[in-house]
Structure 1
Amino acid sequence: MRHSASSKLRPVLIAVSIIIVIAVIAIGLIIRQAQARYQSTIYTGNSSAKIDTTKPLSILLLGVDTGADGRIDKGNSDTIMVVTINPQTKKTVITSIPRDTLAEMAGDQDTNVQKLNAAYNIGGSKMAKASVSKLFNVPINYYATINMGGLKQIVNAVGGVTITSPMNVSFDHVTVTKGRHHLNGTQALAYTRMRYQDPRGDYGRQLRQQQVMRAVLTKLADTKTYSRYNQLLSSLKGNLQTDLSFDDLVGLATHDHANMKHIHSTQVVGLPAWINTSSYQILSTKTLQQTSDHLRTQLGLSTETLSNMETKLNAKNTSYDGKTNLNYDTQGLDKITYTDNTK
């Protein structure tokens, strides 16, 4: 089957979820100095309870394809990461999930499976959290949604970032050649958005996103960066929405600073599949179980055998192998509805 024309022509819109990581790790240290007059900089929802900084927690990071115009209430979440922070092991893990992962839209009225990045478009952050939670059988405590406008501004606010590019990257009239470079905000944005030139596709892009994230964290670890706190806070305005409260951000940055010395990045890797005329990523039952085990262990939870809509569909598609047979059937299970809102 051929890739659909609409999918080929759709612009590559990706928002790197660097802003909330900065907020959690470093902005709290900065805004402590500024007190409540900066609370309005970050729009926060109502968190269910004050964070206990002695216990592990998870944050779902969503980068939405709403462009750089400050809108974060619509669009698909084309960057999906789960950050798990464990104060007991002093370890933080960033897990990237393919945006095209076939998943159940948890909380929808009908049993509905489609691309995971559609959950935010359909039901906002609440459905996105529930869908990721159900996919891996792991609690998602908080969320943060950011858009394209933030990356360029935050990189400029820290004085640019230094990265080593493994390849030539060209996107949106910006070229970053293979090798070591100091990037400004515009260059960093282009570097993290390119996908089609990368032989690893979206997985290669995820690695570049994580690379830029680490570079920003390196700059923030430099005390000289603290003098830029006004510019840093301004870069967050209109680009971030989270249910972490102002006090929670300060608490995480203050008490969990040691956790950020041991940051690990990982990717969940799926197999290609065709459903009708759209391409998807299918996570095998083995991959789903391994990811669930890793996330639950990081959160201090015992592992459990995964059983959900995705494992049932995998069991049904006995001839699908992601190599010679890319056809994947989502029909035949009770009350299941297939739609595609991501074209």
Structure 2
Amino acid sequence: MKKKRNTSSLLKNGEPISILLMGTDTGALGRNFKGRTDTLILLTLNPNKNHMTLVSLPRDAKVAITNYESYYPSKLNSAYDYGGSATAVKTVQKYLNVPIDFYATINMGGLENMVNAVNGVDIKPTLSFSYGGYSFTKNKTVHMSGAEALAYVRMRHDDPQGDYGRQLRQRQVLTKIATNGSSLKNLLSEKFFKEISKQLKTDLSFNDIMLLALKYRTATHHMTSDHAQGDAQLINGVSFEAVPEDEKQRITDLLRSSLNIPKADTGNTLLNSDSTN
């Protein structure tokens, strides 16, 4: 896949970069690595500002998928199902007009292994609930193992905020993994990289990850956590999330600013609301 920017130069010079994180609800509970991406988070790392930005995108966002426009309207999480990681990257780039430098697609089993590799994470639950054999109490900090963290981020239907509530919990866990400095070295070993590669698809090489560890560690010192808020829309009996243009523009502004690139209009996967581009 041809990249929008010279990623080798960006990494070498420690310039701000973006990574599209995609999570498939597979690889745990005996499932295989296929299906749709239930998690889409655009992450930027800016070592110059010691800042990390995580923005969740609605899995049901109404889009036209790049190279599959005839299926419009489609849900954003179907881009991976249609054409893999590259199609998802191209669609998100077009949707927001933000360059994506790298991607990492991980299944739920991989997330569980990552939490275990940093010796667990301390999380203050956003609400009280039970799921997958575990119970969580709102605002009561608990040290979670990989299995507990997996249960914590998978629950959706009992959350009053639905998928937006789950997105918040996902960002919580990912942030804790990234900022767990004392145990992060466990994630940065070639042994672990090879072990988890069965549950991870990424265009970051092991050497790229070493450069990230060397030049981008300070970017985890401060963090902005956000999401694109959509409005429910029913089309032919199918529920979508339609993100208003001003909300998309706000997210585009936030991400482009975090990458130190000039402001620009947000993107669109369509020529207009009724015809595919």
Shared fold (TM-score, shorter chain, > 0.5): yes
Aligned counterpart, 1:261: 221
Matches within 5 A, 1:116-265: 116-178=76-138, 179-219=140-180, 221-222=181-182, 226=186, 232-233=192-193, 236-265=196-225
Return closer, same or farther for 1:227/1:153 CA change in 2, 3 Å cut-off: closer
* Gap regions ≥5 residues in structure 2: none
Give distance in 2, aligned partners of 1:272 and 1:223.
Answer: 40
User: 2 CA distance for matches of 1:277 and 1:208?
Assistant: 29
Where 1:88 maps in the other structure, the secondary structure is coil
1:64 is the counterpart of 2:19: no
The answer to whether the 8 A contact 1:176-1:187 is kept is no
What CA deviation, in whole Å up to 9, does each residue of 1:69-118 have, x standing for no partner?
5843x310110011112233232211110101001101226373310000
1:20-57: per-residue Cα shift (whole Å, max 9, x none)? xxxxxxxxxxxxxxxxxxxxxxxxx9987525233222
What is the SS of the residue equivalent to 1:134?
helix
TM-superposed deviation, 1:155: 2.0
Conserved 8 A contact 2:104-2:202: yes
Aligned-pair Cα RMSD in Å: 2.7
* AA of the residue aligned to 2:46: N
Is 2:237 aligned against 1:277?
Answer: yes
Distance 1:147 1:335, change over 3 A: closer
- Which range moves more in the overlay, 152-161 or 253-262? 152-161
Mapped contact 2:179–2:220 kept (Cα < 8 A): no
CA distance, structure 2, for counterparts of residue 50 and residue 275 of structure 1: 43
1:200 counterpart SS class: coil
Letter in 1 for 2:227: Q
Q: Which residue of 2 aligns with 1:293?
A: 253
For 1:88 and 1:151, locate their aligned partners in 2 and report how far apart those are by CA, in whole Å.
28
| 8 Å CA contact 1:150, 1:235 repeated in 2 | no
With the length of structure 1 as denominator, give the TM-score of the two structures: 0.71
Q: Contact 1:153 / 1:235 at 8 angstroms: preserved in 2?
A: no
The 2-side partners of 1:208 and 1:224 are apart by: 20
Paired residue type of 1:140 = I
CA distance 1:90–1:131, shift in 2 (3 Å): same
Structure 1: 5+ residue runs without aligned partners? 1-44, 314-332, 337-343
Distance 1:238 1:188 in 2: 20
Displacement, 1:246? 1.8
In 1, are the aligned partners of 2:7 and 2:101 still within 8 Å (CA)?
Answer: no
Percent identity reads: 37
Change (3 A) 1:157 1:56: closer
**Based on CA coordinates, which of the two structures has the bigger radius of gyration?**
1
